Amino acid sequence: MSKQNDTTKNMVLAALMLALAYILPNFTGNIPQFGSMLLPMHLPVLLCGFLCGGPWGAAVGFIAPLMRSAILGMPPPFPTAVSMAFELAAYGFMSGFLYRRLPKTLGGIYASLIGAMLCGRVVWGAVMSVLLLKGQGFTFAAFVAGAFTNAIPGIILQLVAIPVIVLALQKAKLVSQAA
């Protein structure tokens, strides 16, 4: 496939993942106590990294929460959408970066996914601590609650769904299987 075809394919896939990141929270938002815990915007951003590579994943991850916030007011712009933009950019970049460098096995997929998830959560915590230096602050307990405890359903969903989807796309030859 030519470089121009690769770029066009990545642009189309990235646009699809951005659209999914915009739409999926509408479905989970109908379950107020549980919906946001599923982290619906994270799934397409992580997949974009796997499908298109780190730079595309980072772009979709950064744009998605800001676009959704500007159009719908959700997530709230500050500090939520801003911190999510950096968090999701890290997810998208790291999932693509690691996937390109690790074996295309189930273990490599999980290593890429878990590495991206950890990196994104650290970035989110760092951005939140900077944004909230004035005012109420951001404690380590708030970091653990926001990054892990409150996100357990979404983390489980990511750990189950992403590898299955990536393996299916590998089998269909829609994502690279070469190391």
Query: In Å, what is the CA distance from 168 to each residue of 131, 144, 179?
Result: 39, 33, 17
* Spatial separation of the C-alpha atoms in residues 29 and 35, rounded to whole Å: 5
Query: Of 9, 2, 103, 101, which Cα lies nearest the Cα of 48?
Result: 9
pTM here is 0.92
| Mean pLDDT on 56-74 | 96
- Residues 6 or more apart from 52 whose CB is under 8 A from it? 10, 13, 14, 17, 96
Looking at the chain, the whole-number percentage of residues with pLDDT higher than 90 is: 65
CATH topology of domain 43-171: Arp2/3 complex 21 kDa subunit ARPC3 (1.10.1760)
- pLDDT at residue 179 greater than cutoff 80: no
pLDDT band of 118, cuts 50, 70, 90: very high
Q: In the prediction, which pLDDT does 112 show?
A: 98
Q: In the chain, what is the straight-line distance between the N-terminal and C-terminal CA atoms, in Å? A: 17
State which amino acid sits at residue 99: Y
